[in-house]
Structure 1
């Protein structure tokens, strides 16, 4: 007879019935703010030069209640031709996350790396649809490595803290 090993993925409930396991869940996601400007219509549709795209993004996380956090992915896109600006998009796409029993030191990595990764495909679709509805070819934003960017930010902060530390004693 083979020796079987089982792993209980459902920990035994606490004596008082309280679930103390850490959990984060997406409650809702939504467009918080959206602006599309086509300042040079209809002339823009006759321009022959290829646009230069400037894409900027920012991530914010705010506590909005007990164990509730809103993570907002802000995406700004400007398309410029030699002749002028074709379009400008400003999007704030947000998610409402419920948090239970998660240590504070694990919240920032989740909110600045994992939550944007969850929200990005939906924000990307909104941008593509808005650009298409504005009369242009849909703009498909390249995927973003939020985890890699977060790790770069952590490393840069650690290097700055190292530079500020005194060397030796006076």
Structure 2
């Protein structure tokens, strides 16, 4: 194998791409004694930015409410730039859907907890995620949604 065909997987940069915090009912919400409900949504996206260079981002939305009133809403997107070259095409999906998010996610968890703490609330620690199971579920969903060709 020649050197120019050697597989390459390198982290170029990990960065906080986006972070927002809303606490529309402060300061009154700080006086509430009731436990809030917490809704957490996660997503992964990947796109090419140059030849052999990809951006992968993991986004989290944490929405806490007491009844219908928002305690706080945090949206955070952690991203990474990865150089990925000379890998078989069938490995690209798992690399960008499993390996890269696993590298990025600890940074996202820390940033979400930090933003919430700095807002004056106890931190919300995002649970560990099985990105392989998440990826496989997305692949199965895409296959289920694929148009079917029916012949008579």
The two structures share one fold, judged by TM-score above 0.5: yes
For the aligned residues, what is the CA RMSD?
A: 1.7
Pairing partner for 1:108 from 93, 102, 110: 93
The alignment status of 1:86 with 2:71, answered yes or no, reads: yes
**Inter-partner Cα distance in structure 1 for 2:142 and 2:48:** 23
Alpha-carbon separation, structure 2, partners of 1:84 and 1:156: 33
Partner of 1:47: 32
Q: Taking structure 2 as the reference length, what is the TM-score of the superposition?
A: 0.91
Instruction: Find 2:125's aligned residue among 135, 140, 155.
Output: 140
- Equivalent pairs, count: 152
Q: 1:37, 1:88 within 8 Å by CA — same for their partners in 2?
A: yes
Aligned equivalent of 1:164: 148
Detail structure 1 runs of 4+ shifted over 4 Å in the superposition: none
TM-score with structure 1 length normalisation? 0.82
| CA–CA separation in structure 1 for the residues paired with 2:68 and 2:57 | 33
Q: State whether residues 127 and 139 of structure 1, in contact with CA within 8 Å, keep that contact through their aligned partners in structure 2.
A: yes
1:157, distance to aligned residue in structure 2 (A): 3.0
Alignment gaps of 5+ in structure 2: none
Larger Rg: 1
Compute the displacement of 1:102 (Å): 1.2
Question: Where is the strand percentage greater, Structure 1 or Structure 2?
Answer: 2
Deviation at 1:25, TM superposition (A): 1.3
- Residue 47 of structure 1 contacts residue 83 of structure 1 at CA under 8 Å; is this kept in 2? no
Counterpart for residue 21 of structure 1: 6
Gapped runs of 5+ residues in structure 1? 1-12
